[in-house]
Chain A
Amino acid sequence: EDQVTQSPEALRLQEGESSSLNCSYTVSGLRGLFWYRQDPGKGPEFLFTLYSAGEEKEKERLKATLTKKESFLHITAPKPEDSATYLCAVQAYNYGQNFVFGPGTRLSVLP
């Protein structure tokens, strides 16, 4: 069965303490892997799309990487404003237009 898991469930960092979030997936025919950020009371906000193993994308303090089985979201020198829930989602060829989401990692960055 196709599925998406994320770890850790929650992560607390001190400001400036770099770390990584993991998204593992088992799908047949990956069409794309997407990272989103969700703030309380808001809808998920798109961050990155990755399509093939070895691909990397960067935006400010965030860098996303992709292998055949998992993706990492690396956060370098995080700031308190990076606190949010980070969701990954996969789109597979056998899902059509559907996106399957992982449960998210709740990140707290303390000043």
Chain B
Amino acid sequence: DTAVSQTPKYLVTQMGNDKSIKCEQNLGHDTMYWYKQDSKKFLKIMFSYNNKELIINETVPNRFSPKSPDKAHLNLHINSLELGDSAVYFCASSQESRNSPLHFGNGTRLTVT
């Protein structure tokens, strides 16, 4: 069973469109994240979310919004897509404790044309 799964794996769309990426984890973790990996392979936090709190990286445009229907899901909605949004987006989860590493999905490669 895949621990953290995200769909779709590839997403090609035009500028100005609105799109969503879905993420589900079956690890029972209480915290989920979205990371963006740019062309230089740098992983940067976009959001972290648990039952209590949404923490947003202040550099993330408000066109990006996470939505969590329940503890096992954290979807990413992107409005008015721009060329610069092209990247690989990773969902991850962890348990809020000192000992818990991040567990990642396999990424969604977003290409905006």
Asked whether B55 lies within 8 Å of A99 as measured between CB atoms, the reply is no
Is A43's CB under 8 angstroms from B105's CB? Answer: yes
Q: A residues within 8 A CB of B4?
A: 43
A89 located at the interface, meaning its Cβ lies under 8 Å from any Cβ of chain B in the complex = yes
Check A43 against B41 for contact (C-beta < 8 Å).
no
Among residues of A, the one whose C-beta sits closest to the C-beta of B50 is A97
Cβ of A54 within 8 Å of any chain B Cβ, yes or no, is no
* Closest A residue to B45 using CB positions: A98
Total number of B residues with any Cβ neighbor in A under 8 Å: 26
CB distance from A64 to the nearest CB of B (A): 13
Against A, the Cβ 8 Å flags (1 = close, 0 = not) of B28-71 are 00010101000011111100101000010000000000000000
Contact (Cβ within 8 A) B45 A99: yes
Question: B48 contacts A98, CB within 8 Å?
Answer: yes
| 6 closest A-B pairs by CB | A43-B104, A101-B43, A46-B101, A43-B106, A44-B104, A97-B48
Which A positions have Cβ atoms within 8 angstroms of B?
A: 31-32, 34, 36, 38, 41-46, 49, 51, 85, 87, 89, 96-101, 103-104, 106
| 5 other A-B residue contacts (CB within 8 Å) besides A42-B106, A46-B103 | A36-B102, A43-B92, A44-B102, A49-B101, A97-B31
